[in-house]
Chain A
């Protein structure tokens, strides 16, 4: 007798042979083990969730299935037969389609052309049959229950629409397996509902879907089965009806939160950062909060909630329409990074390689990037003076590098983050905003970074920490601010904060959060 989920899908798919199966798959990049003994089975007529923190190995898994990476060990079977995809084209023609978080469409070309690029229907002399193409796109749209003008350029489409087009592409390729990597990260409620309706209809047609997400309510609403991964290792697979959010979270984190992230008690002093009614229409609204000396305030929420935008606005990189930012009692006179820096604000950005570091420059040059004006004598600065300064800070943060003139791009992720931290600590800031402090960093360096942050708070800095990793948030923060879709939905003190109530606030509108 079949059991059914709340969403109408079968608890276990009837299909015996999985469409796609990975067993014991491992993948390493040099010394970094990205994936260890992963098992995954995707069956027709089902939607399978994969959850795990950042660095758990999910995206490596996806890239192996998509043909971007080759696995080191283990078996990869498609429809019961062993396969080995060397290129993305091979995976595609086998029937595997991936919808990435950031779709890559051609902005100048029309929706129709994007769906069919590279395989347009042709007639005589290789002439593209535009009418047929257009008709088929319209059919696809209807089937997906959406209305997008097939003739408009892809530029300017919302992420939600771009994803639908990617799905349309996958269907027109008759994909048997559809992998969706954090698809709802940038979607509004209505768009999420639409996506789920599409996913369910694809499942009912007999395709196998995989759904990667941090949003547990969505996982439980949409999926039939769930795999948990942690630190590159496969942990478990269960039917959704047989498990709960708490259980999943526990398996994802797998350790006692308090032991690993020792936030020392620090003396809390005067407010160093005061943000009042910061608003940028469409991005964030009426954001107000205060961070005092000695505090670590976490800004939690899902990807796309607007947290990084707020941070960048405070620092002066992004524009904001209204509101004020005050540092140590003084309002910032303008909106530019150099003004924020002079007032004593430092920002360790989310994208380390594109924003935090000049990846092709040297370690010494990067470390001194924020303080160069102070290193000048008669307006001149030399490599020697940069090196002297860089010695100090590289030493303090224990950066592992062959020499100060090594190109920073060759360092490991953890050491790159240390260089970024060194750069900003050298500037002796009053306020440190740090966006995803331990993303893409090995476990050892992670605790070093946390220890550093704790120490800095103890020395009197005000720290605003943006993080998507619940254990980090719960362990490090004195207060947790939660954002959802551009609004602050909750402020929770350390003693009251739990994974559940933070998650709840991150996924529900503020009226619903009591």
Chain B
């Protein structure tokens, strides 16, 4: 056997199976498919039971409501996949919306106001990232601190007042829908961002590094991954997406208040965990995360339409969260008692 000089085996000589299980099992038996399946079931049931549910109008409102969550979840997922967490996102939404409001009030025009808000978000994310990677403080504690700090600045800047007048052109744009479909125009932006994040996370070396850090930080470093830089970038992205949510929030609800989006961080984390991202890091996928957000949104909207109050949604969310991690634990326990995996063999050589 020679090593470095051997030519590649001919295509016909493909000796290793690419996959250990048939494709249908690989694709269907995942956490993400489970949540997507649940989403489809709930959608179907709701369409039948709840009057006026499966209409463009309702769907539209649903999407409008969950847009802030969707944006933040895109960035929260990679942060949690590396094993970190960002509890400051809700406060950043508030701070960002306050920024937009103040800038708009000062006559700066929405594009500039939005840009400044995005910068604020990036700065907030940078502060988180530096405290966590350079000084080495635990992410949970730091982001609890910045949760209070950013919220405090937001409330401090605006007090009890709210800014409610914004450039009509922009608010109309944000509230508009695509043709007669009922789909909000902002969904275009979301889909573009979703594609970008999905590509980044699942199809680039950077994204592979994200998963490696979550699975084994040491091994990632020994393979050349710059763990600190990666985590820093992810926190900055998290701040940016929270800021984007804040811009949307201010314009859609035409209200910039210091206490906008209080508690949103927990909603996002709940959705992301439901969507299959492990709190321990190292696993997750964006299609599951989007499904998780949609699931919570659909449940809320459907129950709202039958006059069931939001508390039931809370209970269901809570139970689902608990079940999702318990199910994982149970599955591991079951698997550890099951049949051993297929025997490992060397492929038969043809030469």
Answer yes or no: A and B touching, Cβ < 8 Å.
Answer: yes
B-contact bits for A328-348, CB 8 A (1 contact / 0 none): 000000001110010000010
The answer, yes or no, to whether B20 is at the interface (CB within 8 Å) is: yes
- Report yes or no: A391 in contact with B15, Cβ–Cβ below 8 A: yes
- Report yes or no: A459 in contact with B205, Cβ–Cβ below 8 A: no
- Report yes or no: A405 in contact with B341, Cβ–Cβ below 8 A: no
Cα separation A361 to B204 with both chains bound (whole Å): 16
Which residues on the B side are within 8 Å of A338 (C-beta)? 224, 226
Cα separation A455 to B9 with both chains bound (whole Å): 20
Within 8 A of B (CB), among A380-408: 380-382, 387, 390-392, 394-406
Closest to A349 in B: B222
Most buried by A among B3, B282, B342, B343: B3
The answer, yes or no, to whether A35 is at the interface (CB within 8 Å) is: no
Which residues on the A side are within 8 Å of B208 (C-beta)? 365, 369, 372, 381
- In angstroms, how far is the closest chain A Cβ from the Cβ of B211? 7
The answer, yes or no, to whether B172 is at the interface (CB within 8 Å) is: no
Cα separation A379 to B220 with both chains bound (whole Å): 20
Cβ-neighbour of B18 out of A337, A387, A459 (below 8 A):
A387
- Report yes or no: B205 in contact with A401, Cβ–Cβ below 8 A: no
- Report yes or no: B18 in contact with A341, Cβ–Cβ below 8 A: no
- Report yes or no: B3 in contact with A403, Cβ–Cβ below 8 A: no
Cα separation A452 to B224 with both chains bound (whole Å): 24
Which residues on the B side are within 8 Å of A347 (C-beta)? 222
The answer, yes or no, to whether A354 is at the interface (CB within 8 Å) is: yes
Closest to B344 in A: A400
Closest to A373 in B: B205
Which residues on the B side are within 8 Å of A94 (C-beta)? none
Closest to B343 in A: A402
- Report yes or no: B204 in contact with A376, Cβ–Cβ below 8 A: yes
The answer, yes or no, to whether A133 is at the interface (CB within 8 Å) is: no
- Report yes or no: B341 in contact with A455, Cβ–Cβ below 8 A: no
Which residues on the A side are within 8 Å of B4 (C-beta)? 425, 428, 456, 459
The answer, yes or no, to whether A233 is at the interface (CB within 8 Å) is: no
Which residues on the A side are within 8 Å of B14 (C-beta)? 391
The answer, yes or no, to whether A317 is at the interface (CB within 8 Å) is: yes
- In angstroms, how far is the closest chain B Cβ from the Cβ of A115? 30
Q: How many residues of B contact A (CB 8 A)?
A: 41
- Report yes or no: A456 in contact with B205, Cβ–Cβ below 8 A: no
Cα separation A397 to B294 with both chains bound (whole Å): 46
The answer, yes or no, to whether A159 is at the interface (CB within 8 Å) is: no
- Report yes or no: B1 in contact with A396, Cβ–Cβ below 8 A: yes
The answer, yes or no, to whether A359 is at the interface (CB within 8 Å) is: yes
Cα separation A412 to B14 with both chains bound (whole Å): 23
Cα separation A350 to B266 with both chains bound (whole Å): 41
- Report yes or no: B344 in contact with A370, Cβ–Cβ below 8 A: no
Cβ-neighbour of B16 out of A372, A401, A411, A452 (below 8 A):
A401
Which residues on the A side are within 8 Å of B221 (C-beta)? 317, 337
The answer, yes or no, to whether A193 is at the interface (CB within 8 Å) is: no
- Report yes or no: A404 in contact with B16, Cβ–Cβ below 8 A: yes
The answer, yes or no, to whether B180 is at the interface (CB within 8 Å) is: no
- Report yes or no: B17 in contact with A395, Cβ–Cβ below 8 A: no
| Contacts A391-B14, A395-B16; A402 near B5 (Cβ below 8 A) | no
Cα separation A221 to B145 with both chains bound (whole Å): 58
- In angstroms, how far is the closest chain A Cβ from the Cβ of B235? 21
- Report yes or no: B203 in contact with A381, Cβ–Cβ below 8 A: yes
- In angstroms, how far is the closest chain A Cβ from the Cβ of B187? 24
Cα separation A459 to B9 with both chains bound (whole Å): 20
Closest to B4 in A: A459
- Report yes or no: B211 in contact with A361, Cβ–Cβ below 8 A: yes
Q: How large is the interface on A (under 10, 10 to 19, 20 to 34, 35 or more residues)?
A: 35 or more
| Contacts A428-B4, A456-B3, A456-B4; A358 near B212 (Cβ below 8 A) | yes
- In angstroms, how far is the closest chain B Cβ from the Cβ of A385? 10
Cα separation A403 to B344 with both chains bound (whole Å): 8
- In angstroms, how far is the closest chain A Cβ from the Cβ of B134? 15
Cβ-neighbour of B224 out of A337, A354, A399, A405 (below 8 A):
A337
- Report yes or no: B203 in contact with A380, Cβ–Cβ below 8 A: yes
- Report yes or no: B345 in contact with A369, Cβ–Cβ below 8 A: no
Cβ-neighbour of B204 out of A355, A379, A392, A456 (below 8 A):
A379
- Report yes or no: B205 in contact with A337, Cβ–Cβ below 8 A: no
Within 8 A of B (CB), among A292-326: 315, 317
- Report yes or no: B224 in contact with A395, Cβ–Cβ below 8 A: no
The answer, yes or no, to whether B57 is at the interface (CB within 8 Å) is: no
Cα separation A339 to B155 with both chains bound (whole Å): 46
The answer, yes or no, to whether B136 is at the interface (CB within 8 Å) is: no
Most buried by B among A370, A380, A394: A380
- Report yes or no: A396 in contact with B16, Cβ–Cβ below 8 A: no
- Report yes or no: B20 in contact with A455, Cβ–Cβ below 8 A: no
Which residues on the A side are within 8 Å of B203 (C-beta)? 380-382
- Report yes or no: A341 in contact with B224, Cβ–Cβ below 8 A: yes
- Report yes or no: A455 in contact with B2, Cβ–Cβ below 8 A: yes
Which residues on the B side are within 8 Å of A397 (C-beta)? 3
Cβ-neighbour of B344 out of A390, A411, A455 (below 8 A):
A411
Cβ-neighbour of B218 out of A354, A412, A425, A455 (below 8 A):
A354
- Report yes or no: B20 in contact with A358, Cβ–Cβ below 8 A: no
A-contact bits for B180-199, CB 8 A (1 contact / 0 none): 00000000000000000001
Residues of A whose CB lies within 8 Å of any CB of B are: 315, 317, 336-338, 341, 347, 349, 351, 354-361, 364-365, 369-370, 372-373, 376, 379-382, 387, 390-392, 394-406, 410-412, 415, 423, 425, 428, 452, 455-456, 459
30 contacts between A and B (CB under 8 A): A317-B222, A336-B224, A338-B224, A354-B218, A358-B216, A358-B219, A360-B215, A360-B216, A361-B215, A370-B223, A373-B205, A380-B199, A380-B204, A382-B203, A387-B18, A391-B9, A394-B16, A396-B1, A397-B3, A399-B346, A400-B346, A402-B20, A402-B345, A404-B19, A406-B341, A410-B341, A412-B344, A423-B223, A425-B3, A425-B4
Residues of B whose CB lies within 8 Å of any CB of A are: 1-6, 8-9, 14-20, 26, 199, 203-205, 208, 211-212, 215-216, 218-224, 226, 282, 341-347
